[in-house]
């Protein structure tokens, strides 16, 4: 082989190695597990899922019963077990509490909070919200005789998802999950964000979780964060921005 051909061969090999390394770096995580919040189900991620799959990630959207934090954590852990690792674990709203506990699984490489609660060890949602003025939207929460909470139709359109179309708001209302009140006072045992790379999306027009609360959590966790001018359902109003954040966490 001539020296010129040898040089070409070496250069081609080096280029292939660089390309391979770049691909591996871009897809360090193999899977994404998506955890919905209260008053929702797995369909809340339907705009994000195709974008993540197009990027080469396998996606599992958890369907939590919302009856207890312990049960939802176990359901999420089963999804993590079934996913190909490493896993990016994503939580919206109450789902942030779930991933804070379930994220301690060794297969989880990074956490992403989307307009979500991120309690510390020993904290419950009620502990976090007690530090901030009560949101006006709470007047639209309806509790039944069994202790389950839902949001009124007016609450969905005015506070929960005001930046969605009327048709989308009706869909959110139709698939709304009922959250048991016991979940609000159940503390996290160990906060995974203290040990894992953490990313957060702050919904600056959120009328469910105060934006200041979300910003304070970023500071406390030292998370990499973005701000999105959205309502509480950021993954529905700005799916591209949320997908980009998840892909960043996956790398």
Coil, strand or helix at 216: helix
Q: Which of 93, 221, 230, 237 is catalytic?
A: 93
**Is the Cα torsion angle 79, 197, 122, 129 positive or negative in sign?**
negative
Catalytic status, residue 230? no
Closest CA to 208 of 142, 138, 154, 143: 138
3-state secondary structure of 163: coil
CB atoms within 10 A of CB 24: 10
Q: How far is CA 166 from CA 138, 143, 163, 231, in A?
A: 21, 25, 9, 14
Instruction: Decide: 28 and 86 in contact? Cβ < 8 Å.
Output: yes
The beta strands (E) that lie in 62-154 are given as 87-92, 108-114, 141-143, 148-151
- Cis before 86 (ω within 30): yes
Residue recorded with tokens 């009327």: 166
Q: Strand 58-61's sheet: what is its strand order?
A: 58-61, 31-35, 87-92, 108-114, 198-203, 224-228
| Active site positions, annotated | 93
């Amino acid at each position: 082989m001539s020296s010129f051909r040898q040089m070409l061969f070496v250069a081609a090999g080096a280029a292939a190695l660089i390309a391979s390394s770049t691909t591996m770096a871009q897809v360090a995580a193999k899977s994404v597990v998506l955890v919905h919040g209260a008053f929702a189900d797995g369909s809340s991620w339907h705009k994000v899922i195709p974008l993540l799959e197009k990027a080469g990630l396998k996606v599992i959207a958890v369907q939590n019963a919302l009856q207890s934090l312990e049960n939802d954590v176990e359901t999420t852990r089963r999804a993590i077990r079934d996913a190909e690792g490493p896993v990016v674990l994503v939580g919206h709203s109450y789902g942030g509490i779930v991933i804070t506990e379930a994220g301690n699984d060794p297969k989880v490489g990074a956490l992403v909070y989307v307009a979500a609660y991120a309690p510390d060890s020993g904290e419950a949602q009620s502990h976090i919200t007690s530090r901030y003025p009560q949101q006006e939207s709470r007047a639209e929460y309806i509790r039944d005789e069994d202790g389950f909470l839902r949001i009124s139709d007016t609450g969905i359109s005015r506070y929960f998802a005001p930046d969605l179309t009327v048709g989308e708001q009706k869909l959110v209302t139709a698939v709304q999950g009922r959250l048991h009140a016991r979940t609000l006072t159940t503390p996290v045992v160990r906060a995974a964000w203290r040990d894992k790379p953490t990313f957060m999306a702050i919904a600056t027009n959120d009328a469910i979780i105060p934006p200041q609360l979300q910003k304070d959590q970023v500071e406390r966790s030292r998370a990499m964060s973005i701000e999105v001018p959205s309502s509480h359902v950021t993954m529905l109003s700005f799916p591209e921005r949320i997908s980009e954040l998840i892909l960043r966490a996956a790398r």
